[in-house]
A = this chain, B = another copy of it.
């Protein structure tokens, strides 16, 4: 029998892009086999999709309840060991909770929940279940992000003194200026998307990235958001001032109206001894800046990289890997955790990261609504 981990998937059917990303990621290190799941709310469509992607149809279920009930009937060694949640955002929480309560390991797309309250409940649930829970902040899987993290942790840039993260997109520009379009986009509908658009969707990636690479926790924030039109209630742009301590500050900038930008997520961390810069659209370069020294450009796969970074590169230097490979690394980390192999805690983001992300979103909105004042992030 295959030693691969049995993976169930919720959502991600049809031409879902996130579905492709997770399926490819799961296959990259020969560690998972997709066993079944619920790809679609309609059972027949789920089955059709399973056939289309060449997955056996006998463990395609009509809903999560059935999945849980039927899987429980199987011998333990045949059951799904982990379930990936790729459904619409509002379903993440109830599904994750139910899965944890029934002893499953979980890989959950972000945003992990729709409210911070839910995130706290999920945290409690996980404490009881003692299973593995990963939130897919995809970008933390890139080898050079991991390298940045390790260099900072090892003190190679000294004490961090300034943080600057940008996540600029322009995709909402063709929508926002047309009153009809902006009224009818689900991303701008709080019923469907929660309390925030820009901060919730991409600001939260930036927030997680900062804490991931620096290992520091943001203590307070002050947010100034933009909505562009009076009839638009969802933030589509914003700057968030960050405080880590009295003398360690930062700024997080996210936008969906940075016209023409694609996915320009840039991370800059400056320490007493050096600075580090990384750009998501050119993910295989990490720039090291030092006083009076030539800038150094680090690339994946070289032996000068940390083990955590090298672990996430499959080919020799010069063979560019991309975002699928990044997500693949997160899946690989989860696989190691499930198999109880040695793994580095930074191999995948956890529920704690997801929970902090939810808190950040709510606090950013709160800061803005109160007139751009400082609010504390829960510690």
Contacts and interface: CB of A to CB of B under 8 A. Distances in A.
Interface of A: 2-4, 17, 20-21, 23-24, 27-28, 30-31, 33, 51-56, 157, 161-162, 164, 166, 168-171, 173-174, 177, 222, 224, 226-229, 237, 239, 241, 247, 249, 251, 253, 255, 257-264, 268, 270-275, 280-284, 288-299, 302-304, 314-325, 328, 372, 374
A3 B224 contact: no
Given A222-B372, A258-B162, A322-B320, A291 B173 contact: yes
A45 to B, nearest CB: 16
Contact of A324 (B53, B262, B321): B321
A367 to B, nearest CB: 11
A169 B162 CA distance: 12
A237 B249 contact: yes
Copies in the complex: 4
Contacts of A168: 164
A69 B296 CA distance: 56
Contact of A315 (B21, B157, B290, B325): B21
A25 B90 CA distance: 33
Nearest to A279: B320
Contacts of A17: 314-316
Given A270-B259, A324-B314, A292 B303 contact: yes
A202 to B, nearest CB: 11
Nearest to A239: B251
A161 B257 contact: yes
Contacts of A290: 259-260
A372 to B, nearest CB: 6
A28 B28 CA distance: 9
Given A249-B226, A263-B318, A372-B222, A291 B170 contact: yes
Contacts of A261: 270, 275, 289, 318
Contact of A56 (B2, B229, B291, B374): B2
Contacts of A319: 263, 322-323
Contacts of A241: 224, 239, 241, 372
A30 B303 CA distance: 34
A294 B293 contact: no
Contacts of A173: 272, 291
Contact of A325 (B23, B317, B324): B324
A226 B247 contact: yes
A229 B272 CA distance: 13
A295 B170 CA distance: 13
Contact of A253 (B51, B251, B325): B251
Nearest to A225: B249
A222 to B, nearest CB: 6
A174 B255 CA distance: 34
